[in-house]
Amino acid sequence: MESTILYLIPALGILGLVVMAVQSSWVSKQPTGEDNMVELATYIAEGAMAFLKAEWKILTYFAIVAAIVLAWSGMMVETSSPVIALSFILGAILSATAGYIGMNIATKANVRTTQAARTSLKGALQVAFTGGTVMGLGVTGLAVIGLGSLFIIFYNIYVVNTGGSVNGKAMEKAIEVLAGFSLGAESIALFARVGGGIYTKAADVGADLVGKVEAGIPEDDVRNPATIADNVGDNVGDVAGMGADLFGSYVATILATMVLGREIVVRDNFGGLSPMLLPMLIAGLGIIFSIIGFSLVRISDDKGNVQRALNIGNWTSVIITTIACYFIVMWMMPANMTLRGANFTNTGVFYAILVGSIVGALMSIVTEFYTAMGKRPVRSIVQQSDTGAATNIIGGLSVGMESTLVPTLILAAGIYLSHYFAGLYGVAIAAAGMMATTAMQLAIDAFGPIADNAGGIAEMSRLPKEVRARTDILDAVGNTTAATGKGFAIASAALTALALFAAYVGLAGINSIDIYKADVLAGLFVGGMIPFIFSSLCIAAVGRAAMEMVKEVRRQFKEIPGIMEYKAKPEYDKCVAISTKASLREMMLPGAIALITPVVVGFAFGPEVLGGLLAGVTVSGVLMGMFQNNAGGAWDNAKKSFEAGVMINGEMQYKGSEAHKASVTGDTVGDPFKDTSGPSMNILIKLMSIVALIIAPHINVNKVPHKAELTPTVQVEQTVKIPTEKKL
Amino acid sequence: MESTILYLIPALGILGLVVMAVQSSWVSKQPTGEDNMVELATYIAEGAMAFLKAEWKILTYFAIVAAIVLAWSGMMVETSSPVIALSFILGAILSATAGYIGMNIATKANVRTTQAARTSLKGALQVAFTGGTVMGLGVTGLAVIGLGSLFIIFYNIYVVNTGGSVNGKAMEKAIEVLAGFSLGAESIALFARVGGGIYTKAADVGADLVGKVEAGIPEDDVRNPATIADNVGDNVGDVAGMGADLFGSYVATILATMVLGREIVVRDNFGGLSPMLLPMLIAGLGIIFSIIGFSLVRISDDKGNVQRALNIGNWTSVIITTIACYFIVMWMMPANMTLRGANFTNTGVFYAILVGSIVGALMSIVTEFYTAMGKRPVRSIVQQSDTGAATNIIGGLSVGMESTLVPTLILAAGIYLSHYFAGLYGVAIAAAGMMATTAMQLAIDAFGPIADNAGGIAEMSRLPKEVRARTDILDAVGNTTAATGKGFAIASAALTALALFAAYVGLAGINSIDIYKADVLAGLFVGGMIPFIFSSLCIAAVGRAAMEMVKEVRRQFKEIPGIMEYKAKPEYDKCVAISTKASLREMMLPGAIALITPVVVGFAFGPEVLGGLLAGVTVSGVLMGMFQNNAGGAWDNAKKSFEAGVMINGEMQYKGSEAHKASVTGDTVGDPFKDTSGPSMNILIKLMSIVALIIAPHINVNKVPHKAELTPTVQVEQTVKIPTEKKL
């Protein structure tokens, strides 16, 4: 029975990839339009590919060094193995591949969306969204296949072949080795997100500062030397970066649930594996239900409501998945379970999943409130733009800080309730339930930058106004989904980090993280500081790179005569090179901080202080993430509000007014907030927790001697029967 | 022997007040200059007094309600008493008085400093600094007298008269009742700081936005209707608000050490009272050593270095105090002590004090680095001003976030080491040692706004340029001391909050605050969020009030003809009224959050969750405080850098350049950061801890039944002999 499920999981992943291939080939078959459009799209695709290649080169060195360290450390403790290095490399490769798939389809779908928009909004939505679904299925399919297959392999090697217990040290080793996969995925995710985030915002800010402000030419104007870099940025940051990011999150969430699930002693459900199989199965089925949701994202004509179409697709897949979870949980899980002294039932596990879904939905709603046009927060920023850039900035900072209130209360309630229903396993499975429809979330998220790019190509190709109008409708929806997606991402990251935290505590052999102890409290302080310094580095990097970009664009305007009259072509490649170089240089230090700090603190001060550090990082990271994402989103939409006109002091004000200019300043400040430092926070908190999890056996307070005999430590009521030949 | 020390403490406070009276009368005797100067000074003094009166009226209602609740709650548990309400009211009154003394002298010293500056820098420094010393001595003198006398009274009532043990429940009750004094002081401090902070920045931002930016008239121009409100603001925010703030901090620090000191069982040093007497005695002696330091703040002529003079005075008093602490500790404290299982020596206690002094000094140095002109952080903001307001803001935010790195590491090391040397008592006494020279710190801090006001009066009275030049020298030094003072304040607040936290854990009857528990972790999240929402409310309040101010100033410029030609006088009082009303209205909600949250969480979820909440508030509050203070200070000095001229891209840029205008935007954004929300953080974290301390007996997990018999619970090796007649 367990083998059916075991093999069903990667099969679901393969099914996802098959559907992805069909969708992808459909997109490729769509018409691309005239030569000049194709030429621009080619510049963008080449720039994006050049960045990915340069990034991969650096990350290869990193992965090799990290793999060597992991292999060596895997030999040092009994509960790990040098094989962890292979897991790590596979995770890194699949994470990079997930980003590549997304970027590849996005750079194809962009120009095809532009072409479709020449005819209808309906067609444009279909091309852009189908592009998004390719990415969604690619990320989740690869993750489920990777995790599912590795689990089968390690389960056979470490448990079945040794005759170990599924609840004992043998399985602990299998899961620890599997954690390497998550570490690989999340490490690449961090670099991709930070590097891509710096790339895209350096180009965006640089292009805007000289183009819009100094030269007075519109956004995405073909005369702006930085415009190609800006459009490349949308792909490497918002698409490839986000793909790797969500790949990492998705894997980390499932893994955290498996680590805790291993500790639940189950008599005979699926050979005792059910608590570990559940998160993987939910993820696999989530792919199928996302595919069902995809088919509902349709509008009938140009008057159709795009946001509504996306919502119908999204909520359908969320609701079907939740209902399915009920039956799966009741079927797979035993009636009563115990984890670290907490007793709970299978109904409780379902309730925890339900809590996760509700938390995710509420977080999206609150985030939308704080960042949507026409709502009180954005309106207040618009009003404050009337007295200049300073009050606009003050307004946005205040909205961003305020926006942490309700989400934090929701999150605290979510932690409390999911734990109430199913202990620590409940916290983890709530995150897993929330992440089940990642394919759908990602399709909605990726559709935004595709539409954005399509609009850019329309502008650069000087297509008729109605084309740009259609892509603008998609782009505006994309801004909202980007904001809500971030709310969702930070909530799932918080729950996952807590699940990893709980998993870490178990593996480190400690029973408490007592902040009443001075050293643990000091750890909490240092941990709380890390998101601040991390954000500072990201923001400063964008600022520096944008300055370089500004200087280059100014130079080209000055030294290349005829640019302004469309007579000479700007040197796009120089700007692409600046963004590429700067982002790769600047992603190193933040990445190193995230990876090295837990190792240093863990070995120097022990597991409990490291626990304090992780708690500090998580709390502060979640808050800084929400603050920065929402402030950035609100500034962006405050600026956009002027396009339709806003009423200030009884007077209508439009684009070009003084108040609008003030709002552009806010938007520029918000750029690195919402696309570089803010979204990095959720990777930061998960990555540091995963690193802690990996080193936990090394700093375990009851560290077992090297190569000691493998014996189950947990007393099971009735030993699980496992077909086995070999014994130690 | 103990009675000598007991009575010596308030005597030292009285000595401080006597010196204060002498200094105050000297200031009053200085010449005030011409009639128009006196007229302006009178406007300022009247506006400030009007605000204080309006504020006191509201706070009286608050204090009465709070006192009733406290009296009632004091009846409910054995370890408290309704008398706590009286302590509370005394604390509130003395805190308000401390603010009043400062404001009263500042509004006298300002015009006298202007007059002195007509002759020499030396004289101006002397008047301004002597004004500062009056405030320093007023705050510390009142605090030491208040705490010292109440301790004598409660010690006699609850311990001596009942024959209770100095280490038992009797003394616990005495200290709990004394905690009411600190609660009163800190509550008033919060309202004064927040209300004053909103007042001053609403006026400042409003005056600048219309005056400097729209009308193009200089700062402090007599034609600007908001200029009097702006100068009043310096007094109610930077002087009265800061006075109440530091009064609260000073008292809280001493009290926290006394709460922990009570638990140390001392055989016979000063009747077993020495661990409780030590922090009060250090504070009292710190007053004397500060007076010695005062006399060293002198320059010989106009070429004298003002910063150096202040440093000499400051370091002299810090060093003498630290040396004195060595002898006092060795004399008063037993060789070996135990507190909650930690053993330490009197040498250890001294080392902890030394750690505190070093942490305070290092924090000041790091803060200065991040906010001083010519150093890398401010220089980077200057450079980023060249591409406009947006990059200037990005630069400042990045610097602010970065500035949390080193101070957090210093603080973490300080916590670790002071705990290492003398357990939890070490953490508390480190803060007490750091705060010992508060009189000196405050004199240096208060000197800044006096000089600022003096410059304003010089400008408004259109005195010759060299007068303004002299006050500008003082003002520039004042900006640096304001920044370093804030670094010092946040460090001492962090240590004090931790000491209060430790004290709370004891009184709540719990042994750990385990964030591995889901509910405690949820508390940590909610706690971490509070500084964000609190800051948001403060910043938004300034934004709103500044908008009202802008509208009023615009109206006056439009409706009162002849203002610009000095022919008509602006209606200063209308602007004063706007700031007054707005600040009083807007201080309510943040204040309520700080006071009510711990009560709700404590009673609803128990003491351990409340502990998690406090830890979250403390960590997040310290970080947000440093971030906002330092970003604001750096923006301010980036703007000021243009006055002397800065080199950007090989070109000198001065006031009036585009880059300078961009830097003005940053400065305006930084105003509420550095003078409203940032400095409120240290009161917030202490106030919430004190509230928790007060309710601790009510939510104690082993809550003793009401009116149970008073018996010592701690086993003392040899019962302390106390002269007593009555027994229960």
Average pLDDT over residues A272-278: 90
CA B205 to chain centre: 23
Nearest CA of chain B to the CA of A611: how many Å? 9
State residue B544's pLDDT score: 87
Inform me whether the pLDDT recorded for B707 exceeds 60: no
The residue of chain A nearest to residue B540, with distances taken between CA atoms, is A398
Using left for φ > 0, alpha for ψ between -120 and 50, and beta otherwise, residue B117 falls in: alpha
Inform me whether the pLDDT recorded for A700 exceeds 90: no
Inform me whether the pLDDT recorded for A130 exceeds 50: yes
3-state helix, strand, coil in chain A (%, to 5): 80, 0, 20
Distance CA B388, CA A667 (A): 13
Q: Tokens representing B422?
A: 């003398």
Inform me whether the pLDDT recorded for A330 exceeds 60: yes
pLDDT in tens, B586-611: 888 999 999 999 999 999 999 999 99
Phi and psi dihedrals of A129, rounded to 5?
Answer: -70, -40
State residue B491's pLDDT score: 86
Average pLDDT over residues A337-360: 92
B543 touching chain A per CB within 8 A? yes
State residue A723's pLDDT score: 44
A524 touching chain B per CB within 8 A? yes
Inform me whether the pLDDT recorded for B78 exceeds 90: no
Distance CA B186, CA B192 (A): 10
Q: At B1, is the pLDDT very low, low, confident or very high (cuts 50, 70, 90)?
A: low
Burial class of residue B646 in the structure, from the number of CB atoms within 10 Å of its CB (0-12 exposed, 13-18 middle, 19+ buried): buried
Q: At B2, is the pLDDT very low, low, confident or very high (cuts 50, 70, 90)?
A: low
Per the CB < 8 Å rule, is B408 touching A535?
no
Q: Which of B395, B427, B539 sits opposite A543 (nearest CB)?
A: B395
Distance CA B354, CA B404 (A): 23
State residue A124's pLDDT score: 94
State residue A706's pLDDT score: 43
Inform me whether the pLDDT recorded for A719 exceeds 50: no
pLDDT in tens, A606-650: 999 999 999 999 999 999 999 999 999 999 999 988 988 888 888
Window B:174-213, CB contacts with A under 8 Å: 205, 209, 213
pLDDT top residue among B79 and A647: A647
Nearest CA of chain A to the CA of B88: how many Å? 28
Q: Tokens representing B503?
A: 């004290």
Using left for φ > 0, alpha for ψ between -120 and 50, and beta otherwise, residue B252 falls in: alpha
Helix axes B518-559, B169-207, angle to 10 degrees: 40
- The answer to whether B209 touches A391, Cβ cutoff 8 Å, is yes
Average pLDDT over residues B39-43: 88
| CA gyration radius, chain B | 25
The highest-confidence range among A9-23, A220-234, B260-274, B549-563, by mean pLDDT, is A9-23
Q: At B703, is the pLDDT very low, low, confident or very high (cuts 50, 70, 90)?
A: low
State residue A703's pLDDT score: 63
Instruction: Name the amino acid, one letter, at B636.
Output: D
CA B652-B655-B661 angle, 5° bins: 105
CA B286 to chain centre: 17
A260 touching chain B per CB within 8 A? no
Burial class of residue B546 in the structure, from the number of CB atoms within 10 Å of its CB (0-12 exposed, 13-18 middle, 19+ buried): buried
CA B520-B521-B522 angle, 5° bins: 90
A620 touching chain B per CB within 8 A? yes
Q: Tokens representing B283?
A: 């504070």
Going B33 to B36 to B38 to B40, the CA torsion angle's sign is: negative
Window A:339-398, CB contacts with B under 8 Å: 380, 383-384, 386-391, 393-395, 397-398
Per the CB < 8 Å rule, is A539 touching B398?
yes
| CA gyration radius, chain A | 25
Per the CB < 8 Å rule, is A516 touching B611?
yes
Q: Tokens representing B411?
A: 């603080």
Nearest CA of chain B to the CA of A412: how many Å? 5
- The answer to whether A391 touches A314, Cβ cutoff 8 Å, is no
CA nearest to A86, candidates A102, A100, A105, A66:
A66
The residue of chain B nearest to residue A542, with distances taken between CA atoms, is B394
A684 touching chain B per CB within 8 A? no
Instruction: Name the amino acid, one letter, at B302.
Output: D
Instruction: Report the length, in residues, of chain A.
Output: 728
- Residues paired with B343 in a beta bridge: B338
DSSP H/E element including B344: strand B342-345
Distance CA B449, CA B455 (A): 10
Q: Which residues contact A417 (CB under 8 A, 6 or more apart)?
A: A351, A352, A355
A419 touching chain B per CB within 8 A? yes
Inform me whether the pLDDT recorded for A1 exceeds 70: no
The residue of chain B nearest to residue A503, with distances taken between CA atoms, is B516
Burial class of residue B650 in the structure, from the number of CB atoms within 10 Å of its CB (0-12 exposed, 13-18 middle, 19+ buried): exposed
B593 touching chain A per CB within 8 A? no
State residue B713's pLDDT score: 43
Helices (H), A436-517: 438-460, 465-508
Say which range, A26-30, A285-289, A406-410, A489-493, has the weakest mean pLDDT.
A489-493
Q: Which of B416, B532, B665 sits opposite A627 (nearest CB)?
A: B532
Inform me whether the pLDDT recorded for B530 exceeds 50: yes
Distance CA A109, CA A457 (A): 11
HSE-CB of A608 using CA atoms within 13 angstroms: 18
Inform me whether the pLDDT recorded for A725 exceeds 60: no
pLDDT top residue among B262 and A712: B262
Q: Determine which of A212, A386, A397 to mutate to test the interface with B (most B C-beta atoms within 10 Å).
A: A397
pLDDT in tens, B439-454: 999 999 888 889 988 9
The residue of chain B nearest to residue A402, with distances taken between CA atoms, is B533
Q: Tokens representing A351?
A: 């309730």
pLDDT in tens, A648-698: 888 888 888 889 999 999 999 999 999 999 999 988 999 999 999 999 888
Inform me whether the pLDDT recorded for A352 exceeds 80: yes
pLDDT in tens, B361-414: 899 889 989 988 889 999 999 999 988 899 999 999 999 999 999 999 999 999
- Please state the ipTM of this predicted complex: 0.91
- The answer to whether A699 touches A610, Cβ cutoff 8 Å, is yes
**Strand pairing category for B646-648 and B342-345:** unpaired
Distance CA B487, CA B681 (A): 12
Inform me whether the pLDDT recorded for B644 exceeds 90: no
Q: At B718, is the pLDDT very low, low, confident or very high (cuts 50, 70, 90)?
A: very low
Nearest CA of chain A to the CA of B303: how many Å? 37
pLDDT in tens, A208-227: 888 877 777 887 788 888 88
Inform me whether the pLDDT recorded for A26 exceeds 90: yes
Q: Which of B400, B415, B525 sits opposite A521 (nearest CB)?
A: B415
Per the CB < 8 Å rule, is B526 touching A409?
yes
Instruction: Name the amino acid, one letter, at B651.
Output: E
- The answer to whether A633 touches A483, Cβ cutoff 8 Å, is yes
Distance CA B443, CA A272 (A): 71
B546 contact residues in A (CB cutoff 8 A): 387, 391
Inform me whether the pLDDT recorded for B689 exceeds 80: yes
pLDDT in tens, B341-357: 889 999 999 999 999 99
Count of pairs with CB atoms under 8 A, one residue in A, one in B? 243
Q: Determine which of B385, B399, B418, B536 to mutate to test the interface with A (most A C-beta atoms within 10 Å).
A: B536
pLDDT in tens, A511-541: 889 988 889 999 999 999 999 999 999 999 9
Average pLDDT over residues A173-184: 91
State residue B151's pLDDT score: 93
B408 contact residues in A (CB cutoff 8 A): 525-526, 528-529
pLDDT in tens, A56-109: 998 999 999 999 999 998 888 877 888 999 999 999 999 999 989 999 999 999
B623 contact residues in A (CB cutoff 8 A): 528-529, 532, 620
Distance CA B295, CA B303 (A): 19
Average pLDDT over residues A374-387: 91
Q: Tokens representing A117?
A: 């928009």
CA nearest to B290, candidates B258, B246, B344:
B246
**Strand pairing category for A336-339 and B646-648:** unpaired
The residue of chain B nearest to residue A502, with distances taken between CA atoms, is B516
- The answer to whether A620 touches A527, Cβ cutoff 8 Å, is yes
State residue B540's pLDDT score: 92
